[in-house]
Structure 1
Amino acid sequence: MGNHCSVKEVPCFDAAQQPLPQALAVQAEPSGPSDAFGVAEVPSRSLAVEIIGSRPRSDKGEAPEPFGAIRASMADGPDVSRLPDTYFDCEIGECPVLEDESIIQHLRYEFQSGAVYDGDWLNGFRHGMGKQMWPDGTEYVGQWHEGRASGVGCIKHSDGDCYTGQWVNGRAHGLGVYRFQDGAASYEGQFRCDHRDGLGVERWVDGSCYAGGFLQGKKSGFGSNTWPDGTVYYGSWRENSPFGPGEYTLSGGPSFRGQWENSMPHGVGVYQWPDGKTYAGGYHFDKKEGFGILTEADGSVRQGYWANGELVE
């Protein structure tokens, strides 16, 4: 992995160690549906985006100000002027000597950094179509505007990770696809300033799949996560965790439909077992709390106020 890059996705944890949801144990008085996860957090298999600063700019010139398109498209987002440099800023300010820089010319040029660019030049900038290879093995092929990737292009990192899609001012911005080198995971959808942001689909080699909203690289908004065994959670997310209204269902097993917080039932909800037994009422971080009604499979009912998962007699 290079020591500086533009868009770079890294797993939050080793995919091989990622836990899958465990079957819920049907007990006489189960504590709640968090047993379905087996861990405190929903196994989300999320991807994170790491933005790493580039090498210092060439002393032969400064990078131009971000052009109008990026300022307009990011007007309601982060302050572009405060974002770190991109991979493409390394060679800004250095260019070959051309007799007439006002017309597009195709030329192969090696920068002082060791990077090699083969493509179009205009007014001292890489501008048009071109291919660049950096000393660490990273390669970008696609469209350029004033020295940075802009338009459509593909970057392949030295470890094999690649991003193909839309670029604005050297950042993945728009629609694109990111794939891991070992095929462990992929993401297809919207990007914003090198982050997954908007609607997208995240797939893992074991068959797990998340489809829904993202915000600055994390699952946020409405989305559905499906595991290989048929287990499904669909509902509201915040920072990679179920948060708000949602439903978790184990294939052939129990389910919970209601409010969530930090990947745990929290608020009002309904827990249902395969044999027909149900609990409808309040939860406080995965334990029955407040008023609730427990209906047994034989139709008998216990209702009242619960505390720490137990009915207060």
Structure 2
Amino acid sequence: MSQIKLQNQPDSDEQPEDEEFVHNIPMGQGTYTWADGSTYKGEVYNGIPHGTGTYKCTQNSLFYSGQWHQGKRHGKGTAYYNEEKNSWYKGDWVRNNREGCGLRCYPSGNTYSGEWKTNQRHGKGMMRWLNLGQMYVGAWQDGVQYSQSNRYTGEFAQGQRHGWGTFYYAGGAIYEGEWKNNKKHGQVCFTVSWKKFREIHSMLSY
């Protein structure tokens, strides 16, 4: 969504009771309705949303409530992307983009909580796959898991690694086995890269 501009009202004795004008430019608080039924209600400066307000678009079911800056979603806010309201984002915005820290819930029930950049998962974050019963906690880059850091995929309980899972170390080693209360437990399979194996062998040779 690009910058929202609020058109000046035609010459008339009628205007919304909560609307303010300065030199025929909407200012202060206002409620505005477009021809397609989309609406904005909130603070306005120089004819554009600026401050706190809510926007509902009839064309794509987008509903946003939060902070605005010069006609764009900017600051803290919550957006719903469908009528069922099971697809949403709550967190930081920068010029209409999800950027900073935020929580995203998808229609499938999967959730991501962490850092964002230009609408993509980027930085540190936690992804939970509801149907798979799995969770990944670690680094992300441009929307995908970033393998150059430690990461975990597997089962979890109450936010902790619990059950069967695989832990990938940044150095290339892989731990696969059971977890209990966030700790390794029971039978395991531990794999190391050939480079790491040589490093270990070298250390043991002294």
TM-score > 0.5, shorter chain as reference? yes
Match of 2:74 in 1: 173
Residue in structure 2 matching 1:230, options 129, 133, 156: 133
Gaps in structure 2 of 5+ consecutive residues? 156-162, 179-186, 202-206
Structure-2 separation of matches of 1:192 and 1:176: 10
What is the aligned residue count? 180
3-state SS in 2 of match to 1:277: strand
Match of 2:5 in 1: 88
Higher relative contact order (Cα pairs below 8 Å, separated by 6+ residues):
1
Would you identify which runs of 4 or more consecutive aligned residues in structure 1 move more than 6 Å? Answer: none
Aligned residue type for 1:279: T
Aligned residue type for 2:66: G
What is the CA-CA distance between 1:212 and the residue it aligns to?
Answer: 0.5
CA contact (8 A) 2:175 2:188 kept: no
What is the CA-CA distance between 1:137 and the residue it aligns to?
Answer: 1.6
| Identity rate, percent | 23
Aligned residue type for 2:134: T
Aligned residue type for 2:192: A
More strand by share: 2
The verdict on how the C-alpha distance between 1:118 and 1:134 changes in structure 2, with shifts beyond 3 A counting, is farther
Match of 2:110 in 1: 208
3-state SS in 2 of match to 1:276: strand
Aligned residue type for 2:136: Y
> Per-residue CA shift, 1:264-294, capped at 9, x if unaligned?
xxx623232343111022xxxxxxxx4355x
**TM value normalised by structure 2:** 0.77
Residue in structure 1 matching 2:192, options 280, 284, 289: 280
CA contact (8 A) 2:51 2:68 kept: yes
> How do residues 12-51 of structure 1 correspond to structure 2 at under 5 angstroms?
51=2
Residue in structure 2 matching 1:133, options 29, 33, 38: 33
Gaps in structure 1 of 5+ consecutive residues? 1-5, 7-50, 52-85, 99-105, 110-116, 260-266, 282-289, 294-302, 305-313
The verdict on how the C-alpha distance between 1:246 and 1:122 changes in structure 2, with shifts beyond 3 A counting, is farther
What is the CA-CA distance between 1:107 and the residue it aligns to?
Answer: 5.2
What is the CA-CA distance between 1:182 and the residue it aligns to?
Answer: 2.6
CA contact (8 A) 1:107 1:118 kept: no
Structure-1 separation of matches of 2:195 and 2:150: 20
Structure-2 separation of matches of 1:168 and 1:107: 28
> Per-residue CA shift, 1:33-88, capped at 9, x if unaligned?
xxxxxxxxxxxxxxxxxx4xxxxxxxxxxxxxxxxxxxxxxxxxxxxxxxxxx231
Match of 2:165 in 1: 254
CA contact (8 A) 1:279 1:292 kept: no
> Per-residue CA shift, 1:129-158, capped at 9, x if unaligned?
111111122111111000000010000010
**TM value normalised by structure 1:** 0.52
What is the CA-CA distance between 1:202 and the residue it aligns to?
Answer: 0.6
> How do residues 141-220 of structure 1 correspond to structure 2 at under 5 angstroms?
141-158=41-58, 159-180=60-81, 181-220=83-122
CA contact (8 A) 1:107 1:119 kept: no
The verdict on how the C-alpha distance between 1:107 and 1:218 changes in structure 2, with shifts beyond 3 A counting, is farther
Pairwise CA RMSD: 2.6
